[in-house]
Chain A
Amino acid sequence: MRVAIPIAAALALGAITARAERPADFEARFAAEARTADPAFAGFSAERGRAFFTNAHGGDWSCASCHRNDPSVVGEHIVTGKRIEPLAPSANAARFTRPASVAKWFQRNCNDVLQRACTAQEKGDVLAWLMTLPAKETR
């Protein structure tokens, strides 16, 4: 029994931390947030997401600076040269499965590109586009 408590605790912790979600779960959450922010919310647009992703928004970098214009391939950090695994869920099953990771990277990278947080509409548009990208051979 002495052993049972730590194991039970570890299992419970594992259940909490390992609760994987799917990209569609994030899309639904962004939609709910966007609707709250704007009752006239009319859904996400993959084309708007693509344009947002590849636009530098008046700064030096776009999302595509590191993730490529086609984020179903391997990217590279523009400053450090570090390999960045594909962002499109079709090419990388780990993407858009962990809420903490998704929140962290949108916060960091939106600040890097836009010097502000992204709106739920913007995040949903980008995700809608990413979800349309077919898997490709990664180099």
Chain B
Amino acid sequence: MKLSIPVAAILLVSSASAAESKRAPLPPAYVEECGSCHVAFPGRMLDAASWQAVIGGLSQHFGVDASVDAKTLEPVRAYLEGSARRKPTAGADGQPLLRITETRWFVHEHDEVPSRLRPGGAEAVKPAECGACHQQAATGSYAERDIQMPRKGATR
């Protein structure tokens, strides 16, 4: 009986992370390792195959060295694989996509973004700059109510 409480706690924690919980806070290790150079993208943005491809190429991560030592990487891997998107995020060639902005769901969700904010637009937002419109991006929340696009002519 003495063991039962910790075991129950572990089961609770693992089942909570396995479920796709949009409200669960991002793990600190993930924010620390991946959220320094860009906002820490929630695991649900890519499927497990895409995350595995990202993790496998961290020393050449979109042109920069984002390598993480094996021990530090483990909780990051566990979070991403545990919260990964269930629908596939593969490209037309069947290969896992690495860029969230190239996934079908992302393109679809952003089809209302005005051209001035798109790449090449007069007030283009950088593709990884989720927080430019998603006010709570740093916490992993992308709810509609938290969207506030930069006003036209606003200097950021």
Our verdict on whether A and B bind, yes or no, reads yes
* CB–CB B65/A82 < 8 A: no
Q: Decide if A77 touches B65 in the complex (CB within 8 Å).
A: no
Residues of B close to A111: CB separation below 8 A: 59, 64-65
CB contacts (< 8 Å) of A77 on chain B: these are 37-38
Q: Does A107 contact B (CB under 8 A)?
A: yes
Inter-chain residue pair count (beta carbon < 8 A): 41
Interface string of A32-76 (1 = CB under 8 A from B): 000000000000000000000000000000000000000000000
- Could you tell me which residues of chain B, from 43 to 66, have a CB within 8 Å of some CB in chain A? 59, 62-66
Contact present for B37 and A82 (CB under 8 Å): yes
Judge whether B65 and A81 touch: CB under 8 Å.
no
A-side interface size class? 10 to 19
- Tell whether A82 pairs with B67 under 8 Å between CB atoms, given A77-B37, A77-B38: no
Among B2, B39, B62, B67, contact of A108 (Cβ-Cβ < 8 Å): B67
Interface, chain A (partner B; CB < 8 A): 2, 77, 79-82, 84, 104, 107-109, 111-112
